[in-house]
Amino acid sequence: MTLVFKQETFRDDYRYSNSPSGIKRFPFPFAEDQYMYSVNIEPHGKGKQGSVNEFAFDVDEHYVAECIDKGITLEQDPGRYESLPHMMDAQWDFLELTMESHAQDYPDHFTLKKNGLNWNWENKPLGIKDSFVFGDCSTLPMDPFEYMGRQVQGDFVLLDQRDETLYADAGFITSQADWSLAFNIGMSWKEWHGPVPRVTELGVMDRALKYLMNLQLGSPVRRLNWTMTINPRLDTSPENYPFWGGDRNKVNKENVSDLVHLRVELQALFRLPRSNGIVFVIRCYLINLKEIATYPRWSKRLHRVLKGLHPDLIEYKGLTKFHPLAVDWLSKFDDGATIELGTQPE
Amino acid sequence: MSTIDVKVSAIEQVTPLVKHFTFVKEDGTVFPAFSGGSHVVISLNIGGRIHRNPYSLMGSPEDTSAYHISVRRQERSRGGSVYMHENVTVGMPFKITYPVNLFSLAKKARKHILIAGGIGITPFMSQIADLERLGADYELHYAFRAPEHGAFAERLKKTCGNKLHCYVDSLGERLDLSVLMGNQPLGTHLYVCGPNPMVVSVFEVARNFGWPENHIHSEQFLAPPIGEPFKIQLARSKKEILVPAEMSMLEAIEAAGVEADFLCRGGACGRCELQILETDGALLHNDHFLTDAEKASGKKIMPCVSRAKCERLLLDI
């Protein structure tokens, strides 16, 4: 399958949109009219052809633009990539997993040739061609995790498993929904989930941790998470809050459907072989309300979910300023008819 | 659960009681790499009954052309090890799980002390390959009954050099845990694998010296014990089954055609945990996973190794 990559920007002039096929394959997260946290984890198996779950790592029309945006963010703030010294085995695991998946699933765009430990990697869309020795950091231009982190869509956290919990001991984070790697690095599971409202009471985090501690090699899992972002901006980091936080005050009745984006994270977790660590992949998909309204089923559903959202969640997800405007705009599509269970567009 | 199709490519009698098996993949491709201390669960069809036994992977984690396990013949067992010794021949196909690691090295440790008793040496074989590759500070203390039972001692001497310390029981050599554990730098992690009394003494000595609990690691796979038959009821699948004396609850549930979650099948990982809805008898917890409080509460049971003495045990499955 040969993909066509769009020329886009995720900052300044925000030249970004989804093609009709991009809209149709968007991972819409709401199967029901109500939303509440749950351990919505499922096997990350091969999904339907053309869907975002078809392959372990989804490459889409935004690939090149997103990798360029990662480079800009890292150049301005090198602290978005960090790895503690004991994570080197996990770094090579990450490189192997991402190179093998991309080469196998997108052979027109990526090639990996192995001769023992001598590996040749070619990334045609980004014009990268390198030979290196697997396991020998001195043969790559940078750490193996940063090297592939720059060439794969999404954010990545490498988790070390010890003391009956998981520690976020390395990260490549350039498209985060308002959380900071510099603040979270080295934290345990309970520490980094501390701020999430209403989940401790539900026991969700304890159960999810138990499940992930037993995550098996060869059996990755995934879940969807979501929030909303003004403008198609990947880098909504606390570090750069001055560049995007104020945009929430610019939303009005006229521009709400262009500016307000549903931000869906396809989160996948893979057990890593050599390190016994886990890579947590957070892949961000952006779509504005106007694009969502292509499919009445989605606009109706989103209207009901937002209208009924618990006030704690409205606050935690940072929607307070524009929530009423979004609900109001979406209300005109909602005739009140029952929608069957499911996330499909039609 | 994902499995790998393998076949036996070599069998070697290592000691009078231990056989070493080499597996390659049926399709000729390479295995996934793994981390030191990992095990796989192998499915054995013994007279129409499926046994699933966990064995530590022994080779170097970097050698992905083959997986290696060693099996000690256990006479008073339910037959898995005897079957491996007497019936398994080169070329036979098996299904194994992907590697699972419940005994991984602490990557932030300043020093690693490895203590093996007898066949308990197996998980350390792959850990040593990792420790050597990482250039880590470690010592291996290996105790066995008699010179002919020191499986792999010669091979280990070559790899570990003066980091290997052997204790041969028949020669009157003893490992003095107090001397060993009383004089280690802060940040040392200790790993023990061997017979139960050895593991218990390591924990006792560690507690007496004030070692942090999370610096002591042990791996003990339990074979499901043989017991009295008892009856269980499955609430969701609406079935009543008899658990025979030599079968585990998990095996009986599987034999009844009910799909149950599992991973290690040795009472260590917690994956097969079941909720108890009702019971009229006593639970016989044999696992290492549930806390004492959880065991006492009578709300949960690990069907891979635990049993009950009852007529009624209603499980949420």
Q: What is the mean pLDDT of chain A?
A: 93
Give the Å distances, CA to CA, from B175 to A35, A337, B72, B143, B150. Answer: 60, 76, 22, 7, 15
In-domain check, residue B8: yes
With residue A118 as reference, give the H or E element that holds it.
strand A118-123
Residue A100 to residue B218: CA distance in whole angstroms: 34
Q: One-letter amino acid identity for A49?
A: Q
Q: Over 70: is that where the pLDDT of A39 sits?
A: no
Nearest of A180, A296, A310, A191 to residue A235 by alpha carbon: A180
In contact, A304 and A334? CB cutoff 8 Å: yes
* A99 backbone φψ class: left, alpha, beta (φ>0; ψ -120 to 50): alpha
Query: CB contact, 8 Å: B136 with chain A?
Result: no
**What CATH code is carried by the domain that includes residue B287?**
3.10.20.30
Rounded CA-CA distance B258/B314 in Å is 15
Domain count for chain B, please give it.
3
Q: Which of B290, B287, B241, B239 is nearest to B265 (CA)?
A: B287
Residue B225 lies in a domain: no
In-domain check, residue B26: yes
pLDDT at A200: 63
pLDDT of residue A129: 98
Give the span between the Cα atoms of B317 and B302, in whole angstroms. Answer: 13
Q: What is the pLDDT of residue B243?
A: 93
Residue B223: inside a domain: no
**Chain B positions in Cβ-Cβ contact with residue A162 (cut-off 8 Å):** 104, 106-108, 214
What ipTM was predicted for this assembly?
Answer: 0.85
Which position has the token pair 């204790």?
Answer: B167
Same domain? B188 vs B122: yes
φ/ψ region of A229 (left if φ > 0, alpha if ψ in -120 to 50, else beta) reads beta
The structure tokens 């199709």 sit at: B5
Could you tell me the CATH number of the domain that includes residue B205? 3.40.50.80
Q: Distance between the two ends of chain A, CA-based, in angstroms? A: 25
Cα separation, B100 vs B214, whole angstroms: 20
**Residue B83 resides in a domain:** yes
Tokens, residue B145: 């009954």
- Which is the catalytic residue, given A15, A80, A198, A223? A223
Same domain as B238, residue B299? yes
What domain range is B87 assigned to? 3-101
Residues B35 and B85 in one domain: yes
Is B208 in the same domain as B247?
no
Contacts of A275 in chain B (CB under 8 A): 35, 107
Q: From chain A, pick out residues whose CB is under 8 angstroms from the CB of B106.
A: 162
Alpha-carbon gap, residue B200 to B208, rounded angstroms: 12
φ/ψ of residue A231, rounded to 5: 70, 155
Min Cα separation B223/chain A (Å): 20
Q: Do B236 and B196 fall into the same domain? A: no
pLDDT of residue B221: 67
Residue located via tokens 């066509």: A4
Give the pLDDT of residue B151.
80
Assess whether B90 and B120 both reside in one domain: no
Residues B89 and B56 in one domain: yes
In the listed set B194, B218, B242, which residue is the last one of a domain according to the structure?
Answer: B218
Q: What is the pLDDT of residues A101-150, one digit of tens each?
A: 999 999 999 999 999 999 999 999 999 999 999 999 999 999 999 999 99
Q: How many CB atoms lie within 10 A of CB B244?
A: 15
Among partner residues A161, A214, A218, which is closest to B263 by beta-carbon distance? A214
Euclidean distance between CA atoms A107 and A111, whole angstroms: 6
Q: Are residues B162 and B69 in the same domain?
A: no
Q: Is A11 one of the catalytic residues?
A: no
Domain containing residue B19: CATH number: 2.40.30.10
In order along its 317 residues, chain B shows pLDDT tens digits of: 689 999 999 999 999 999 999 999 999 999 999 999 999 999 999 888 888 888 999 988 888 999 999 999 987 777 789 999 999 999 999 999 999 998 999 999 999 999 999 999 999 999 999 999 999 999 999 999 999 988 889 999 999 999 999 999 999 999 999 999 999 999 999 999 999 899 999 999 999 999 999 999 998 766 777 788 999 999 999 999 999 888 899 999 998 999 998 877 888 778 899 999 999 889 999 888 888 889 999 999 999 999 999 889 999 99
Q: What was the pLDDT predicted at B220?
A: 72
Final residue before a domain boundary, out of B164, B195, B218: B218
Quick check: is B122 in a domain?
A: yes
Nearest CA among A217, A170, A149 for reference residue B104: A217
Task: Report if residue B106 sits inside a domain.
Answer: no
The DSSP bridge partners found for residue A144 are none
What's the order of all strands across the beta sheet hosting B216-218? Answer: B164-168, B138-144, B111-117, B188-193, B216-218
CA distance B314 to A15: 60
